Structure 1
Amino acid sequence: MTKAVCTTAAVTGISSMATRPVLAQLAAAYADETGCRVSLVSVGGVDAARRVQAGEPFDFVVLASDAIARLAADGHIDAGSHVELARSGIAVAVAAGAARPDIGTEAGVRDAILRAGRIGYSTGPSGVHLNRLFVRWGIADAIAPRVVRAPPGVPVGALIASGEVDLGFQQLSELMHVPGIEVVGMLPDAIQAVTLFAAAVCRTAGDRAAVARFLAYMASPKADRVKREHGMELV
């Protein structure tokens, strides 16, 4: 890629925590290739959407596609700039060295939850999905005293590693590189929920052409290897 003439000090973006490692690596690679810097802020997805809605001066946002759609409907982003980036499924993790439960079937996951001490999940799409499963299985009330909901921006893996949680659920990309834990595997297909992550140009963007170039880079084959390294599926 030919180094571009950057008309701004840096392209600025905000994302949910699920894509933080991927975006950080892609931003560094993009800067090396083009000379154009990308500055990123990663927070809980709900907080990221709120900050875009409040008009904070970000050039782009990366969130689950349904959150991007809501921001577009309210006029906070340029709907025509929407690009799909990657998909990510929900994984299950325990502390390093702990017994690994059988999660090969829906019944196995349900039993593992019922036997676990403390169960952790996030405030993001994976947590919403787990809550629905608990209700569907009729165990929500029974396990409520043992459920630990990670605060926005706090990885479930960190709670597992610290001993605050015994069995944790979150996007694979957020669990796979956390020290002190082991990923048992993915939720089985029957109860899996795959989140599609997308990016879009914010209404507050400055140099829209520069932002569009970075979004195109993130959606290009050049980004595929990095996405796979972080447990994400290509779109």
Structure 2
Amino acid sequence: MKPTAARTRCRTVFQPLVLAALISLGLPARAAELVVYSTGAVRSVVSALAEVFRQETGHTVRLSSATAGEVQAQMEQGAPADLVIAPDATISRLAAKGLAIGEARHVIARVGMGVAVREGAPRPAIDTPEAFRQTLLDAATLTYSDPAAGGTSGQALMGLVDRLGIGAAVRAKATPGTGYVCEKVARGEVALCVHQISEILPVAGVVLVGPLPPALQQVTAYVAAPTPRGADAPLAQAFIELLTRPAMRARFAAAGMDYPAP
């Protein structure tokens, strides 16, 4: 079908406007790819917003996810990232090594830790430190993000159980892992999962019992920071703008990524 005169006129007017918008943002007029290295706690929303970014700008986002420790190691080994999304402490370490632009960082999410059990299983009490401690002791088996692999919540949990005096008992019956470790609960391999809330909610077959009690809660601020690569700096800034847009806050909240700041 041949374009009508009206369509041709519309295209003639619209295309220069798009080009002008791209130039004003400092973005390339042709489609480009933004390389993003991110920790798993925020990947569900970041990957969804990557598609929004593509629809709005025509540029794509190539997202790689891992634990915070793995992301840091990959960056130190020369990973070709234009943008890094990780806990604030990780970004600070990368900035100190010249691998992230610390002064350009922006908080995109705050995530708390929670407890999950298999759908249909009794929900244990975790509303007080004492109840949470007893629940960990009573659980036959449990899982959490592997501290040895740089799992943020696993490292925090190990600090908590040591403070509560039950570190040895918890480690003896634990099967740590990486990624969505609560899938082990869904498959019936372990009874309990302690993880970032944002990595519990996407797992089918488990239910969130609730967040850790306030006195024990560990809230992690996840921040996005461009890297010194430079070639795609305007594109990185444009994606950060999308991630921090007020209209997107509801998406982060629905995914358990808008925990109140401590």
Whether TM exceeds 0.5 here: the answer is yes
Matching residue's letter, 1:165: V
Q: Which runs of 5+ in 2 are unaligned?
A: 1-17
Aligned residue in 2 for 1:175: 200
Q: Does the 8 Å CA contact 1:95/1:166 hold for their aligned counterparts? A: yes
Matching residue's letter, 1:141: A
In 2, Cα distance between equivalents of 1:30 and 1:38: 8
With the length of structure 2 as denominator, give the TM-score of the two structures: 0.84
Q: Does the 8 Å CA contact 2:142/2:193 hold for their aligned counterparts? A: yes
Aligned residue in 2 for 1:117: 140
Q: Does the 8 Å CA contact 1:68/1:198 hold for their aligned counterparts? A: yes
Q: CA deviation at 1:71?
A: 0.4
Q: Is it true that 1:81 corresponds to 2:104 in the alignment?
A: yes
Q: CA deviation at 1:44?
A: 1.9
Which residues in structure 2 correspond to 1:203-222 (within 5 Å)?
203-222=228-247
Which residues in structure 2 correspond to 1:74-223 (within 5 Å)?
74-123=97-146, 124-150=151-177, 152=178, 154-223=179-248
In 1, Cα distance between equivalents of 2:42 and 2:170: 29
Q: Does the 8 Å CA contact 1:15/1:42 hold for their aligned counterparts? A: yes
Q: Does the 8 Å CA contact 1:10/1:37 hold for their aligned counterparts? A: yes
Q: Does the 8 Å CA contact 2:100/2:225 hold for their aligned counterparts? A: yes
Q: Is it true that 1:4 corresponds to 2:30 in the alignment?
A: no
CA deviations 1:124-166 (Å, max 9, x no partner) are: 221111111111111112232201111x3x2121111122221
Aligned residue in 2 for 1:230: 255
- Give percent identity, aligned residues only: 32
In 1, Cα distance between equivalents of 2:48 and 2:254: 10
Q: CA deviation at 1:204?
A: 2.8
Q: Which runs of 5+ in 1 are unaligned?
A: none
Measured at CA, do residues 205 and 229 of structure 1 come closer, stay the same or move farther in structure 2, by a change above 3 Å? farther
Q: Is it true that 1:54 corresponds to 2:70 in the alignment?
A: no
In 1, Cα distance between equivalents of 2:237 and 2:117: 40
In 2, Cα distance between equivalents of 1:200 and 1:58: 10
In 2, Cα distance between equivalents of 1:127 and 1:66: 15
In 1, Cα distance between equivalents of 2:125 and 2:102: 43
With the length of structure 1 as denominator, give the TM-score of the two structures: 0.93
Q: CA deviation at 1:22?
A: 1.0
CA deviations 1:75-96 (Å, max 9, x no partner) are: 1111222111110100100011
Q: CA deviation at 1:192?
A: 0.4
Larger RCO of the pair (alpha carbons < 8 Å, separation 6+): 1
Q: CA deviation at 1:205?
A: 4.4
In 2, Cα distance between equivalents of 1:204 and 1:71: 13
Larger Rg: 2
Moved more, 225-234 or 98-107: 225-234
In 2, Cα distance between equivalents of 1:113 and 1:184: 13
Q: What's the secondary structure of 2:215's corresponding residue? A: helix
Aligned match for 2:45, one of 22, 27, 30 = 22
Matching residue's letter, 1:204: R
